């Protein structure tokens, strides 16, 4: 298989396979989670300001009091790379064109120079998070293979895409194929790794907040 054939495969068959695994995996995991069920809470609700699902989503999306100075890299770099990933994935014109072909919806993108800058900042933030995890003994001890694996899965599409845009490391056609393949690997593994929190983070926060809000306990 030559480079052009490889690119054709990853843009066609490979992408279709990845999307099928991604969609079925996400639906399966969501069905597992929401199919668990829960006994109806028969206790009388205790109303308390700030004790609700929506308040918990907001509260848990901000650093707890006193934690930002203690672990600035985790919070600042964490916010930067999550926002940066969303910008690169959904506001880069070529990505929008691909998504439009899949979901039949379009929206305006950002200038390529802006996306390029955001990509570099996002990669720098991810590297900072990685170094912080390695440098701190407790974080390093608590880290598992899954943590390193998911970091790599997330970082590679950024790196390979940036290299492809700037025609670096490999010939453009091959680098583009590698970039698309890295995205497909991310799609395939996302439903079955910690990356699935992209679909559950806000829902779980709302649920915990709603349940504890019923008891009058803000979380």
Residue 98 CB coordination number (10 Å): 15
Nearest to 161 by CA among 95, 80, 82: 95
> For 110-152, what is each residue's pLDDT tens digit?
999 999 999 999 999 999 999 999 999 999 999 999 999 999 9
Average predicted confidence (pLDDT) for the chain: 91
Rounded alpha-carbon distances, angstroms, from residue 73 to 127, 128, 154, 186: 10, 7, 18, 24
Q: What is the pLDDT of residue 218?
A: 66
Q: What is the distance in angstroms between the CA of the first residue and the CA of the last residue of the chain?
A: 55
Check if the beta carbon of residue 43 is closer than 8 Å to that of residue 214.
yes
| Helix H or strand E segment including 198 | helix 197-214
Which pLDDT does position 153 carry in this prediction?
97
pLDDT of residue 65: 83
pLDDT at 68: 85
The DSSP symbol for 31 reads: H
What phi and psi, each to the nearest 5 degrees, are found at residue 169? 70, -55
145-165 and 78-91 helices, crossing angle to 10°? 50
Domains of the chain, residue spans: 3-212
How far does CA 51 lie from the centroid of its chain? 28
Q: What letter does residue 64 receive in the DSSP assignment?
A: P
What per-residue confidence (pLDDT) applies to 6? 95
Domain 3-212 has CATH 1.20.950: yes
Stretches where the chain sits below pLDDT 50 are none
Token pair in block for residue 133: 């995890």
CA–centroid distance for 170 within its chain: 27
Give pLDDT tens digits for 172-191: 999 999 999 999 999 999 99
CB-count burial class (<10 Å; 0-12, 13-18, 19+) for 46: exposed
pLDDT score at 194 = 94
Of 159, 155, 147, 161, give the one whose Cα is nearest residue 197. 147
Q: For residue 68, what are its two tokens?
A: 């930002």
pLDDT at 205: 83
């Amino acid at each position: 298989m030559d480079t052009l054939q490889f690119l054709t495969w990853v843009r066609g068959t490979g992408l279709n396979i990845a999307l099928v695994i991604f969609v079925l995996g996400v639906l399966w995991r969501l069905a597992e989670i929401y199919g668990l069920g829960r006994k109806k809470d028969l206790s009388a609700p205790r109303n308390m300001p700030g004790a609700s699902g929506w308040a918990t989503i907001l509260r848990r999306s901000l650093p707890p009091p006193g934690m930002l100075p203690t672990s600035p890299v985790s919070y600042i770099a964490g916010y930067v790379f999550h926002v940066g990933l969303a910008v690169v994935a959904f506001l880069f014109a070529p990505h929008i064109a691909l998504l439009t072909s899949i979901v039949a919806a379009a929206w305006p993108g950002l200038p390529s120079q802006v996306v390029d800058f955001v990509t570099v900042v996002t990669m720098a933030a991810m590297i900072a998070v990685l170094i912080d995890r390695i440098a701190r003994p407790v974080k390093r001890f608590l880290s598992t293979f899954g943590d390193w694996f998911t970091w790599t899965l997330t970082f590679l599409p950024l790196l390979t895409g940036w290299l492809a845009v700037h025609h670096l490391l490999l010939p453009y056609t091959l680098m583009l194929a590698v970039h698309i393949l890295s995205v497909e690997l991310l799609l395939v593994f996302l439903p079955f790794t910690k990356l699935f929190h992209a679909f559950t983070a806000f829902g779980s926060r709302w649920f915990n907040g709603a349940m504890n809000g019923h008891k009058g306990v803000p979380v």
